[in-house]
Structure formats: structure tokens, C-alpha cells
A and B are shown apart, each in its own frame.
Chain A
Amino acid sequence: MALNPFFLQGTASEQRLVQDLINEHLSFHGVEVTYIPRKYVNTKTVIEEVQTSKFDDNFSIEAYVNTFEGYGGAGDILTKFGVSVRDELIITLSKERFEDFIAPFMAGQDDGTDDSIMPTPTRPREGDLVYFPLGQRLFEVKFVEHEDPFFQLGKNYVYQLKCELFEYEDEVIDTTIETIDTQVQDEGYITTLQLIGVGKTATATALITGSTPSGYIRTIHLDNDGSGFTSVPTIGFSSSPTGQIGDNATAIGFLTTRGSVTSIEKILMTNAGAGYTTPPSITITGGGGVGAAATASIETSGQGVIRFSITDGGVGYGTAPTVTIAGPPASGIAHTAVGIASIGLDGSNSVIKSIYVIDPGRGYSNAPTVTIADPETLAGLGTYLFNEIVMGSRSMIQARVKEYDQDTHVLKISNVSIGSTQPIGFYPGETVIGQTSGAEYPVFSYVQDDTYDKYTENDEFETLGDNLLDFTETNPFGTF
């Protein structure tokens, strides 16, 4: 039997009236939420997943909170993966308002040149985000119900968005609304760049004589580099015949590992000594290794640089600078000394810690001038902006800024684009350039440990494991 033609099931004007009433009701009693569409950066076929997403747009819209007595869901629970907040939210949007004021703008962005935009923008989409300002939370749309209430006067007027708190991984959230973007500022995998602020050139002086003008070590020959070292051994020299402590030679050993064998790579003098009439004996003790042996040759005529004294360690050295020592007066035995600098941290400043004597030289009559090269950058500039992309000048690695501390020059970054072609990370000494701010500071060190995640023990396991485990070869799962 056909419908009675004298009773209408809803006219267009009635439907418009109902829609207007709903819109007005939402504007009275709703909450202004921010709708943030998801852009698909990379989609994995076969296993059908959006691997990489970004959220860089925002639309304000009024929404009625259906669950007005509180969030739904399981609430805060402790799982084996840490605390998980399982809050859920159901909100109602006006269909007309969404289709008139959000969908056209989303569609307008899809000009066909950007594959990262989802091509169905006429309705709210599952996977998009909704920022709920009262709770300052980011909800992900799980399901869009479009038929509840069910065809009043022959039409549906609202969307119901069933949402659950967002599970964050490494998605870019850059809506330009600071309140929203900073919600994930401390979340995810965050690594740290220690940058160098204002640089200053280091200075040092050379000493060419002890209590007696000659009898210093000229070279150290590593006769046997040994094996099995687990820590740096102590290098000892027999005492100088002068009996003066300052005349005793001192040196430091450096280790190297190849394959599974750790041996001494080199021995560098911190004091070439004075007053030796015969080559001193060298003892190599400690460090857990065996077999290492070294001998020395001495210079008993003429003077050379026996040690360096750092008068100013400078600031801002990302890599060890070149040390240039003035040559001795020209003569038959003249030979210019060679030194090498080592850097380290003094507080948060990277400075020259010491200068080792590689070759004391010969034929000096006065202490030569020591010139230490400038740090990579004498003055960094600017301030990095939250969420901007930074790039290493030499490594070309890109990352996204989470936070920058202008005082300590610590730059927290995420989404580091270390690829298979660049497995090392940022180079010490290279400049990190802010792509938006233009800020530039050189790198002192890059730390890949995430010390900001509140539920991770990766570092603790590594530290504690170092005292327990004996990886006679190497840890196949990688080491810190």
C-alpha cells in the first residue's frame, strides 16, 4: 500500500528548520573543539597501514559532548607497557556545519599534487584528531555514526564522533595552535643535541725545559700493543735522575678495538720529562690487558717542548682543533715540535682539556708560540622554534625541534631522519640550521638516548648490564 499523500514525511523547509535548530542548540550548549585532519604521508600496501602521518591543519567547530558526565572508556589503567589512559569521548557535530565550513577547505587543499591528503573529505573521517580543550586532550576519531538520530523528518542532521585518546608515535602535529602542538612536546622518542653557544679560541704556552735543559723523551715506540684491555692502562716511566717530580715523564695510553681485540693504539706524552741520561723504562700496568710493551728514545742535547700549559681552554670546540707550534731557530738540528689537543666538557662548555706532546722537536732556545685554531663557529645565532625542521650542514640529517634551551644550548629533537646512508647521526662540529628560524649553532655532541620518556629503562639495562655481561665479541643487538 502506498503512503498517504496527504501526510508529508518531512518537507525541505521542515528539514532546514530542524537543521537550524540543531545548529543553534550546538552553538549554545556545545564546546568549541578543534578538528585536525590526518594527512597520509606514506601508506604501506599489502599490510594496509598508514605508516607516516602528519596533522598540520586545524578547523574550529562547535560540538555537543554526549558523554557529559565524564569520559567513557576504561579510564587510567596500568598495563605491562606502562600507564595507559583509555578515556573515550562521544561528540556530536552538525552535519551542515561540517559540510559547509570544513569539508570545502579540506577539499580545496587537495589539488592533486600532494599525495599526502586523503581524498574523501566530505565527512568527518576515522583517524582524524579532535582536540578537546576542556581536558586539553587529543582524541582520535574511531567511528563516525551518521544515522543517529535515525532519519528525523526524512533526513539525518548530525555526525556522532566516537573518539578515543590518541596513541602517539612520531606523527607530526603542527597545527600552528601552540596549545595543541605542545601537548606532545614531551612525548615520543626524543634525542638531544648539545650545541655550542658562543665560541672562544683557546690559548696555551709551551715549556722547553725542566730543572735541567735537556734529557727529554724524543719518541715512544710501541713495541707491542698488547691485547685484552678493558680499560686504559697506566703508563709509567722510571724516574728522572734529577729527583725532581716535575722532571719525570708522564704519558697516557689510548685504546683501539678491531674485531674482538682491544689493544693500545698509541701512547701520547703529557710531559716529555727532563734530565734523563739513559732512556727510561716504560711500564704498562692495569687495564686488564697483557703483552703491551714500549720503549723510549731520549734527546740529550738541545731543547724541545716537554709539555704544554693551557692558559685558556676556550669554548665551543666540537672537534679537536689543530695546534701549531712555532719552529726553532734554523740550525742543523732544528726540528719543529708537534702537539695534539683533546677536548672535553667543562660544565656545559666544550673546551680544550689538554695538549699532548706528539714530538717535542729539537733545537729550541726559547719557548715557542703555541697557536690553537678557532672553534668551528665563534658565535651561534638565533633561537630555534618549536616544531621547525633543523638540518645538519654536513650530515644533511633533518630533525624536528621539540624544545630548545637558550641557556644550556640543549636542543631536543625528534623525527630524526637518520637513514641507511647516514647511520652515525649528527657530526660534532657541524652546524645545525633551523629551516624556519635560520638559527645556527655548531654541534658538540649528539645523544641518542631518550632520557625524557617516563617509562623506559633502556639506559638502565645498558649501564647495569655493562657490569654483568661479558660480550667477548660484540653485542649483536647493538651497544650504546
Chain B
Amino acid sequence: MLGTYYYHEIIRKTIISFGTLFNDIHIRHQDDAGKDVSDLKVPLAYGPSQKFLARITQQADLNKAIQITMPRMSFEMTNISYDSTRKSSLVQTFKTCEDGTKAKKVFMPVPYNIGFELNIMSKLNDDSLQILEQILPYFQPHFNLTVDLIDSIGEKRDIPIILESVGFQDDYEGNFDTRRSLIYTLQFTAKTYLFGPVADSSDGLIRKVQVDMYTSTDQKTAKREMRYTVTPTSNIDRNDDGVINEADHKLLQPGDNFGFDEDWEFFSDSKKYSPTRQTDI
């Protein structure tokens, strides 16, 4: 049953979305007179990495004159858990379209919570406090991100990022052989969704709606007597031929701004529409 290959990179996209929140935080330092003398953007990176790559990129020439530069922020994914409170029917599907041409059938996404840990390391408590005060007020206790989880179906979902807790470690006591370590740790939960495979739907895009009306509910003998038809119409010259006509209507895409053409027809020919032959018989 399992085995259909698909990979939407949703977890990676959630990681990127989370990282984007904290990638432009600055701190400032002043001189004794209170004048700003330095403005620093706090470097941010996803913590886990391949060891050899870290060594080669960060210590390419082996020697390093200093221990590390400060302050820094790092985050990592800590857990993934199913969120039963957001559960929806497993067999429920919805339809969407790709490139305005093909219909897609998508099963309802599965709600998962992804835990994140954001660490802030600085050598000054004042630096950490500057960073914290630029983060905490936005989480009450959540902050919503609207993420385009699957580009092919244009499915944008609101993902609340919930600030669960703030802790810190300040090892300032003890002998002088160890340096003070100052790390703030913020725990977050991202309420994201995981999608299953996206299948092509046999259904086409709806470009015309037709409703036949009857004067009797007897399905065998009653004939349609009135027909209401709706088709989308373009309100601009899409093929740039100087006129707005049927050719422009056919170029309409699902995301376009368009109007409708309504048509009422009355019949007394005792015929009935055949959906399979797509004509009146």
C-alpha cells in the first residue's frame, strides 16, 4: 500500500519559515556618552550540520586566532509529534489545480507539531536581553506564519509558531578556570501539516455550469424546460487582438479576475440532456 514516491519538503520548508523569523535581529553597543558605536546583525544558522563540512567551511585554513564570534543564534528541530486535536477525516479530499490546466486531487493534510529549540549565545547578558526583547513580544504565545507548503497546488496554510518556554543558563559562579557561559533557550512548537501524495484528478477544470430545470420530479418522463448556463468571461483583451471575445474567455486561468456570462434558455421540444453524449436527445 505504501510506496508511492513523493517528497514535498514540508519539514524543510517549516524549518526555513521558522528561521526567517529570526534572521534580521540586530544589537547595538554604545560608548560611555551613550552614542551608538556599533550595530551588529546577529548571525543565525541551523545548528545540526555535517561535521566535515563544518570544519572545512569554518576552519578552512586550520588556524583560528579566536575561539568564536559572538553573539550567535542557532536553532534546531527537536521533535515531531502527531497533533490529534487538529485531526480531520483521513479520506476527505479537496481539489486544486496546477498551472491552471490540470486538476489535482489532494487528501486532507495530517496535522503534525514540530518542536524547535532556538538558542541564543552571547558573552554579555545585555546582548541576550537586547535579542530577547526583540523576539518575545511577538509571541502571545503564538505567531502565525502563512506558508506555501506545496507549491504545485498553491496550498497556503497558517502555521502558528507557539513559544512554549524561555530558559537560560548563566554559569557565572565557580572558579576562574571556566569562562562564563550565557545561553538562552527558547522552545517553540510549529503546528504544521504534512501532505500525502498529490494525484492527478480525472476531472477537468469546470469551465461551464449548466442547470436544467423540470416541471415534474418524474425522472423518467419529465423533459427539461428551462436551462441556466454560466460561463466565465474575460474582461480584458488577453490575446491582445484589440477585441474581447470567446478567444479571450478561453485563456482565463483559475486565479484570474473574470466575470460571468449567464444564459437562460426555454424549451418545448420534449428533449432531455444526456451527460454522456453531451447533447439533447
Interface residues of A (CB under 8 A from B): 41-44, 47, 49, 51-52, 76, 78-87, 115-116, 126, 135-138, 142-143, 162, 164-170, 183-184, 187-189, 236, 238, 281, 283, 285, 290, 398, 414-420, 448-450, 453-459, 461-462, 464-465, 467-472, 475-480
Most buried by A among B65, B76, B134: B65
> Chain A's nearest CB lies how many Å from the CB of B40?
4
Q: Contact at A169–B176, with CB atoms within 8 Å?
A: no
Q: Contact at A80–B76, with CB atoms within 8 Å?
A: yes
> Chain A's nearest CB lies how many Å from the CB of B61?
10
Within 8 A of A (CB), among B128-177: 134-135, 138, 145-148, 151, 156, 175-177
B16 is an interface residue with CB less than 8 A from chain A: yes
Complex contacts, A465 vs chain B, CB 8 Å: 16-17, 19-20, 23
Q: Contact at B176–A42, with CB atoms within 8 Å?
A: no
Q: Contact at A469–B146, with CB atoms within 8 Å?
A: yes
Q: How far is the CA of A81 from the CA of B31 in the complex (A)?
A: 28
Q: Contact at B69–A41, with CB atoms within 8 Å?
A: no
Q: Contact at A470–B147, with CB atoms within 8 Å?
A: yes
Comparing B103-111, B119-127, B260-268, the segment that makes contact with chain A is B119-127
Complex contacts, B245 vs chain A, CB 8 Å: none
Comparing B84-92, B221-229, B234-242, B271-279, the segment that makes contact with chain A is B234-242
Q: Contact at B13–A468, with CB atoms within 8 Å?
A: yes
Contact of B119 among A80, A169, A236 (CB under 8 A): A80
Complex contacts, A188 vs chain B, CB 8 Å: 40, 69
Contact A470/B37 with A83-B58, A167-B66 known, Cβ cut-off 8 Å: no
Q: Contact at A169–B58, with CB atoms within 8 Å?
A: no
> Chain B's nearest CB lies how many Å from the CB of A472?
7
Listed A/B pairs (9) with beta-carbon separation below 8 Å: A76-B55, A164-B179, A166-B67, A167-B67, A169-B69, A285-B236, A455-B45, A456-B45, A462-B24
Interface residues of B (CB under 8 A from A): 13, 16-17, 19-25, 28-32, 35-41, 43-49, 51, 54-55, 57-60, 63-72, 74, 76, 119, 121, 123-127, 134-135, 138, 145-148, 151, 156, 175-177, 179, 236-238, 240, 242, 257
Contact of A184 among B44, B66, B242 (CB under 8 A): B66
Contact A82/B66 with A41-B31, A468-B17, A470-B148 known, Cβ cut-off 8 Å: no
Q: How far is the CA of A357 from the CA of B91 in the complex (A)?
A: 60
Q: Contact at A456–B68, with CB atoms within 8 Å?
A: no
Q: How far is the CA of A236 from the CA of B37 in the complex (A)?
A: 50
Q: How far is the CA of A92 from the CA of B38 in the complex (A)?
A: 35
Q: Contact at B146–A470, with CB atoms within 8 Å?
A: yes
Q: Contact at B19–A167, with CB atoms within 8 Å?
A: no
Q: Contact at A462–B40, with CB atoms within 8 Å?
A: no
4 closest A-B pairs by CB: A465-B20, A143-B176, A456-B43, A80-B47
Q: Contact at B59–A83, with CB atoms within 8 Å?
A: yes
Given contacts A165-B67, A188-B69, 9 further A-B contacts (CB under 8 A): A52-B37, A83-B64, A169-B69, A170-B38, A415-B38, A453-B69, A455-B54, A464-B16, A480-B24
Complex contacts, A461 vs chain B, CB 8 Å: 16, 19-20, 23, 44
Q: Contact at A455–B58, with CB atoms within 8 Å?
A: yes
Q: How far is the CA of A470 from the CA of B21 in the complex (A)?
A: 12
Q: Contact at B31–A136, with CB atoms within 8 Å?
A: no
Contact of A457 among B44, B64, B67, B236 (CB under 8 A): B44
Q: Contact at A82–B20, with CB atoms within 8 Å?
A: no
Q: Contact at B74–A454, with CB atoms within 8 Å?
A: no
> Chain B's nearest CB lies how many Å from the CB of A390?
14
> Chain A's nearest CB lies how many Å from the CB of B119?
6
Contact A479/B24 with A41-B37, A450-B43, A468-B16 known, Cβ cut-off 8 Å: yes
Complex contacts, B74 vs chain A, CB 8 Å: 80-82
Complex contacts, B237 vs chain A, CB 8 Å: 281, 283
Most buried by A among B32, B40, B67, B145: B67
Complex contacts, B47 vs chain A, CB 8 Å: 80-81
Q: How far is the CA of A64 from the CA of B263 in the complex (A)?
A: 99
Q: How far is the CA of A140 from the CA of B72 in the complex (A)?
A: 19
Q: Contact at A477–B25, with CB atoms within 8 Å?
A: yes
Complex contacts, B151 vs chain A, CB 8 Å: 467
Q: Contact at A169–B40, with CB atoms within 8 Å?
A: yes
Chain A, residue nearest B175 (CB): A143
Q: How far is the CA of A168 from the CA of B72 in the complex (A)?
A: 11
Most buried by B among A51, A81, A457: A81
Most buried by A among B57, B66, B121: B66
